[in-house]
Structures are given as C-alpha cells and as structure tokens.
Amino acid sequence: MVQKGYGATSISDIAQAVGMTKAGLYHHITGKQDLLFQILIHAMDGVERDVIERVKQIEDPEKRLREIIRLHLRRLFENGLEFALLFPERRHLEPAQQDAVVQRGKNYLGLICVALSELADQGKLRDLDINIAAVHILQIITGVARWCMQDTGISEDHLVEQAINFGLSAVLER
C-alpha cells in the first residue's frame, strides 16, 4: 500500500503479500477502509512512542527540535515510511476517522510549534510565522522520506544531518 497507494492496492494483493487468501485475511480485518485506519493509527502510535515521548524531557528547545527531526527521520527509515507516505491517503477514510487522524497530526505539529515558541521567548528565533514554519519543518521531514525512498547512494546519516541543519538554519537567528 505504501508502494502502490490505497486505491491501487487490492485486498487480494495484501492477502497474497502475507501468504493468505482474501477470505482468510478477512478473518483478521473488518474492511479495507478500516485496515488503512488501523495502519495510520498504528504508525502514529509509533511516532508518539518513539518521538514525542522521548523529546518531552528535553529542556532546551533547540536541542528538542533537533531531536524531533532526528528521531522522526530515524523512525521513518527503520520502519516502513508508513506515516509519511500513507498520511495523504486519509482522504479515503470516513470523515470521523479522518478527523481522528488529522487531530493527532495537529498535535504533533503543536509539538514543533511549542519548541519554536520557546525559542522565540529566548530571542533565538528569526522574525517568522511560527505556525507556517512548523509546517515547513514537518514538510522537510516527510519530504525526505518521500524523495529518498528510491534514491541511491546517499547515506541515511547524511540525510538526517542535512535535514536538521536545513531546518534549524531556517528558523534560528544569526
């Protein structure tokens, strides 16, 4: 589903990928839509556990922002890129499920906004719109995953380092 997209991935495809038939798979899921929903929830739980929970305790907002980018990218590389690539597929869900997904996405965005606000309080931030800057940073994170999944050569460490550098340079004064 990550490779072909929600619409182009049939239940048969998924069943075959896990070594089952359609009907066998349906014993474990309640429907295609709900499967996508569960995947998104699962992916966001992972982000919450591996990123949000770990950076909470970092006092310095600059270090925290660096860690947000680093941990999120590491997660994307190690796990299946689900969050970055499947997030736009939320349009195939029921409105209520869409809201649930969007809500959690906005919570995550809020985490970045808080870090930027604290940087602003310390006078370390450029003159910029914090909400928009937060979107840009999140866009960089997911963009790297989107672009570099077929890309060759470039090492993950280098990508992470460059992304952090780029994002921080964009927002920090001086």
Q: What residues make contact with its own copies under the rule CB under 8 A?
A: 3-8, 88-89, 91-92, 126, 128-129, 132-133, 135-136, 139-140, 142-144, 146-147, 154, 158-159, 162-163, 165-167, 169-171, 174
Residues 170, 154: Cα–Cα separation, whole Å? 22
Q: Which residues contact 29 (CB under 8 A, 6 or more apart)?
A: 35, 38
**How crowded is the C-beta side of 2, counted as CA atoms within 13 Å?**
16
Query: 159 is in the binding site of which of its own copies, DNA, none (Cβ under 5 to 8 A by kind)?
Result: its own copies
Instruction: Please report how close the Cβ of residue 87 comes to DNA at its closest, in angstroms.
Output: 19
Cβ nearer to its own copies, comparing 4 with 22: 4
Instruction: Please report how close the Cβ of residue 28 comes to DNA at its closest, in angstroms.
Output: 6
Please give the single-letter amino acid code of residue 136.
H
Cβ nearer to DNA, comparing 31 with 88: 31
Query: 31 is in the binding site of which of DNA, its own copies, none (Cβ under 5 to 8 A by kind)?
Result: DNA
Query: 128 is in the binding site of which of DNA, its own copies, none (Cβ under 5 to 8 A by kind)?
Result: its own copies
CA distances from 171 to 24, 130, 134, 139 (A): 51, 9, 10, 14
């072909």: which residue's tokens? Answer: 4
Residues 54, 110: Cα–Cα separation, whole Å? 16
Q: At what angle do helices 95-121 and 32-47 cross, to 10 degrees?
A: 20
Cβ nearer to DNA, comparing 13 with 173: 13
Instruction: Please report how close the Cβ of residue 24 comes to DNA at its closest, in angstroms.
Output: 3
Cβ nearer to DNA, comparing 28 with 91: 28
Q: Which residues contact 24 (CB under 8 A, 6 or more apart)?
A: 15
Contact positions toward DNA, by CB under 7 A? Answer: 9-13, 15, 19-28, 31-33
